[in-house]
């Protein structure tokens, strides 16, 4: 009998656990450890943040699903990993601390034969002074944050209706934040809600980002094919802002936020500030601070995890210069190099380096996006890790024949503004591969035939369809496994 422990029940962890439970017979245990009681479809938090969906439309309770599927569910957070076991454990184990009301604060040692770390990111609001809910800015990173954001947006709308102008600042809140795509989608939706109420003349909307150029999105930008022409995501993105009268600030690393003002450093080294009445700024991401110990109890955290707290996998962490970066630097099996039965999926794995070109200001501040790993890539990685573990259990050996390098896989992104079947717009973009491969595609870095972009209402319908399709899949409804990641 094998015990597979999955840490985290986000897109990657939930996907891995669902497939393993489907493929393995019941003599094997699939155990999910997550501090959350709910699964959330994060891409639709944007709509919660503008009042177009309720919290309960983007989430569902995990425990009833897992009980029905035969997955052992523990509402707890991982505190430490012991991949070599100890005097009391022949196999590896994880120390967890319960977060449920019934067992809050209690700890347990959960043994495993295979471990999947899919803990996702810690939202590092502390990395920027004054950032985040409860301080001076809003967030749409969770459904509760998004709901709070909508309450603040409504307050600004009420002020505009009374004749008081409002300044909106939306973008990234750390010099190395990622998820520019989520912030981009949110600013378009906020603009849509303001326009729908005929209040545009009362609103100044500004985008602020650590991107060198708009449309970088943490993947170094892209060249996309549209209508037979090739254009850059810079032009693609700027056109959306120009059409809507949205201003922008780029190459900016937000260092501190106070009430109504964001302080930022430019890539040129200047210290500037931007006023706001409402701000939604994405924080930086880190790992969750999980510790690792060997059989003797010695701390091996730096061996298992990168300095940013994400887990090391089969990637090239040699720190070679930007000019020597290669598509082969990126992991394909997500197996830890020191402990072969330990894997990291989704955002939990440590990238070998950024995808965007690293840049520093004259003051030494790194100002560029970290690589995105959400949505489609996380789902694909979760499934591939599950496939390799299943094959290992069935054959008794680690063949690891299933691979999913971000330098080999493509991804689709739909940025939707508005809500409804006849009103709204969207930017639909696919890139292949996610990480540029300049050796294989020397002209564009990607396969230009499959890297395309298109604005229009059709993409908006697709966003709606994806919301219901992926929740159908996540809930394990009939034929869920036939739907793509």
The pLDDT tens digits for 115-166 are: 999 999 999 999 999 999 999 999 999 999 999 999 999 999 999 999 999 9
The answer to whether the CB of 80 falls within 8 A of the CB of 110 is no
Enter the tokens of residue 183: 């912030």
Q: Edge to edge, what strands does the sheet with 203-208 contain?
A: 247-249, 203-208, 166-172, 278-282
Check residue 419 and give its pLDDT: 65
Check residue 413 and give its pLDDT: 79
Q: Distance of CA 3 to CAs 20, 70, 255, 386, Å?
A: 11, 13, 44, 13
Backbone φ and ψ for 385, nearest 5 degrees, come out as -60, -40
Q: Using CA of residue 161, residue 162, residue 163, residue 166, what is the dihedral sign?
A: negative
Quick one: average pLDDT of 418-437?
77
Quick one: average pLDDT of 240-254?
96
Q: Following DSSP, what letter does each residue of 292-337 receive, concatenated?
A: EB-TT--B-HHHHB-TTSPBP-SS--S---GGG--GGGS-SS-B-S
Check residue 464 and give its pLDDT: 79
Backbone φ and ψ for 318, nearest 5 degrees, come out as -70, -15
According to the per-residue pLDDT averaged within each range, which of 48-57, 234-243, 366-375 is highest? 48-57
Check residue 465 and give its pLDDT: 83
Range scoring the smallest mean pLDDT among 123-127, 237-241, 266-270, 285-289? 237-241
Q: Using CA of residue 375, residue 379, residue 384, residue 389, what is the dihedral sign?
A: positive
**Chain mean pLDDT for the chain:** 94
Residue 310's pLDDT band, with cuts at 50, 70 and 90, is very high
Distance from C-alpha of 234 to C-alpha of 283, rounded to nearest angstrom: 23
CB atoms under 10 Å from CB of 147, counted, come to 18
The answer to whether the CB of 254 falls within 8 A of the CB of 240 is no
Q: Using CA of residue 470, residue 474, residue 477, residue 482, what is the dihedral sign?
A: positive
| Count helices and strands in the chain by DSSP H and E runs | 9, 24
Work out the percent of the chain whose per-residue pLDDT is above 90. 86
Distance from C-alpha of 315 to C-alpha of 337, rounded to nearest angstrom: 9
Does residue 423 have a pLDDT over 70?
A: no
Check residue 457 and give its pLDDT: 64
Range scoring the smallest mean pLDDT among 244-253, 286-295, 324-333, 408-417? 408-417
Query: Top-level CATH class of 3-123+285-395?
Result: alpha beta
Give the global pTM: 0.96
Closest by Cα among 171, 217, 251 to 373: 217
Quick one: average pLDDT of 422-442?
84
Q: Is 413 left (phi over 0), alpha (psi -120 to 50) or beta?
A: beta
Q: Using CA of residue 192, residue 197, residue 200, residue 203, what is the dihedral sign?
A: negative
| 221-235 confidence digits (pLDDT tens) | 988 877 778 889 899
More confident residue, 50 or 426: 50
């Amino acid at each position: 009998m094998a015990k597979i422990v999955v840490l985290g029940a986000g897109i990657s962890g939930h996907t891995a656990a669902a497939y393993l439970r489907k493929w393995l017979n019941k003599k094997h245990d699939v155990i999910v450890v997550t501090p959350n009681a709910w699964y959330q479809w994060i891409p639709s938090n944007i709509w919660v943040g503008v009042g177009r969906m309720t919290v309960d439309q983007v989430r569902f309770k995990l425990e009833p699903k897992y009980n029905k599927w035969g997955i052992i569910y523990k509402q707890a957070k991982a505190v430490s990993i012991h991949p070599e076991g100890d005097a009391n454990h022949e196999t590896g184990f994880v120390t967890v601390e319960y977060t449920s009301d019934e067992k809050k604060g209690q700890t347990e040692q959960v043994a495993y034969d295979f471990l999947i770390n899919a803990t996702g990111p810690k939202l590092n609001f502390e990395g920027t002074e004054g950032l985040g809910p409860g301080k001076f800015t809003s967030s749409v990173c969770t459904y509760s944050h998004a709901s709070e954001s909508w309450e603040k947006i409504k307050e600004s709308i009420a002020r505009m209706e009374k004749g008081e102008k409002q300044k909106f600042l939306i973008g990234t809140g750390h010099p190395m934040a990622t998820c520019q795509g989520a912030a981009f989608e949110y600013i378009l939706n906020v603009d849509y809600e303001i326009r729908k109420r005929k209040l545009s003349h009362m609103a100044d909307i500004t985008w602020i980002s650590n991107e060198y150029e708009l449309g970088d999105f943490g993947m170094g930008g892209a060249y996309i094919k549209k209508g037979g022409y090739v254009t850059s995501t810079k032009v693609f993105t700027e056109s959306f802002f120009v059409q809507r009268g949205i201003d922008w600030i780029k190459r900016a690393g937000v260092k501190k936020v106070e009430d109504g003002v964001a302080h930022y450093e430019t890539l040129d080294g200047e210290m500037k500030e931007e006023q706001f009445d409402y701000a939604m700024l994405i924080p930086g991401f880190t790992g969750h601070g999980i510790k690792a110990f060997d059989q003797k109890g010695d701390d091996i955290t730096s061996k298992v995890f990168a300095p940013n707290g994400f887990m090391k996998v089969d990637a090239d962490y040699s720190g070679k210069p930007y000019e020597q970066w290669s598509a082969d630097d990126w992991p394909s099996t997500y197996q830890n190099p020191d402990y072969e039965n330990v894997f990291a999926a989704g955002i939990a794995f440590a990238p070998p380096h950024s995808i965007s070109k690293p840049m520093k200001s004259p003051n030494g501040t790194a100002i560029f996006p970290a690589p995105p790993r959400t949505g489609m890539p996380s789902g694909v990685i979760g499934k591939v890790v599950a496939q390799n573990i299943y094959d290992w259990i069935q054959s008794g050996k680690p063949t690891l024949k299933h691979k999913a390098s971000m330098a080999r896989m493509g991804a689709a992104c739909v940025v939707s503004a508005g809500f409804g079947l006849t009103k709204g717009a969207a930017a639909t973009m696919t890139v292949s591969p996610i990480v540029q491969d300049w050796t294989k595609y020397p002209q564009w870095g990607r396969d230009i035939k499959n890297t395309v972009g298109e604005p229009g209402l059709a993409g908006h319908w697709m966003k709606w369809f994806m919301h219901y399709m992926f929740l159908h899949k996540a809930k394990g409804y009939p034929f869920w496994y036939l739907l793509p990641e």
